[in-house]
Amino acid sequence: MIQCKVINNANHTLEERESLSGTVYIADEEPHVFLQTCNRIELYWGEGTIPEDIIRHLFRVASGLESALIGERAIQGQLKNAYLSACAKYKLPAPLHKLFQTAMHTGKRVRTETKIAQGAVSHSQVTVDILKKEQPDLRQKAVSIIGVNKITEDILKFLTDNQTLTVFLSNRNFEKAARLAATYNGTAIPLQEKKCMLDFTDILITATSAPHTIITPADIPPNKELLIFDLAFPRDVEPSLARRKGIKLYDLESIEGFAKANLQQRTQEIRHAEAIIEEEIAKLSLSLHKPFPNNQFSTIL
């Protein structure tokens, strides 16, 4: 039977997700699909029948209904990458193939046939919105970005469009940082020199895949004023910095909270999306020629 374990934003705070992340474990030789995003860690494995609640959950994930930013598009690529990575590493059981292929099809249908993704926000867009609200004069500020990925590149585009003159870009792989910095007229800084970089930084944006914090109180000079956006999971920035005078820290939870007021358009489309999901569940049931079994879905408490 197909099984699933989930740690997500619906059931756990950011701090709880970080502390529980190591408990989602399966032997490496066991064929499985592992999905990790800023909002969730999910593990799918097993053979045979697929419980209906697992199907419904994954279809909702693929459709953006389980995202903190409802309708966000990034989950489609993340789900596809998790599935393809598993396919490259294992000979997955046929039911897992069917489950993930149908989930991706369902997500595509929801975004095509509803308005749930119309004007959909992303963490990068919300960060930009908060920057606009904070109203710093970007032409007079030094902005440091740690991490090279779509999120940081989207923010870089905004900074460039707003004539930000001083942008530092750092990454564990310096060559990646140098290439992106050259594209946007920034300056690449080796990550090991982050402390020196932060001495000159007014706004810090970080979004890496590091398994631990990379910015600690020791990295930031005392009495320094700093606006920080920590878009990483697990967090890149030591949370205690939020208590330091002069520092304003936005982590994933506060960024997502800022965005919720702008989701009315997409929440009105949820019922339409859910109807599509139920239709696809029924189709999958018929294609498997057997009724779904009882609940095998596991949410870690």
Evaluate whether 104 touches 79 at the Cβ level (below 8 Å): yes
Catalytic residue numbers?
A: 38
In angstroms, rounded to a whole number, what is the distance separating the alpha carbons of residues 189 and 167?
A: 10
pLDDT bucket at 83, cuts 50 / 70 / 90:
very high
Grade residue 105 by pLDDT with cuts at 50, 70 and 90. very high
Q: Which fold has domain 3-118+264-299?
A: Beta Polymerase; domain 2 (3.30.460)
CATH 3.30.460.30 intervals, the chain: 3-118+264-299
Interval 172-222: pLDDT, tens? 999 999 999 999 989 999 999 999 999 999 999 999 989 899 999 999 998
pLDDT surpasses 80 at 301: no
The pTM of this model reads 0.77
d(CA 195, CA 204): 12
User: Helix (H, G, I), strand (E, B), or coil: what is residue 138?
Assistant: helix
Q: Across 8-22, 23-37, 85-99, which has the greatest mean pLDDT? A: 85-99
% of the chain with per-residue pLDDT over 90? 60
Within the chain, all domains assigned CATH 3.40.50.720 are found at 123-259
* Fold of the domain built from segment(s) 123-259: Rossmann fold (3.40.50)
- Residue 18 φ then ψ, to 5°: -65, -45
**Would you say 114 and 67 are in contact if contact means Cβ atoms under 8 Å apart?**
no
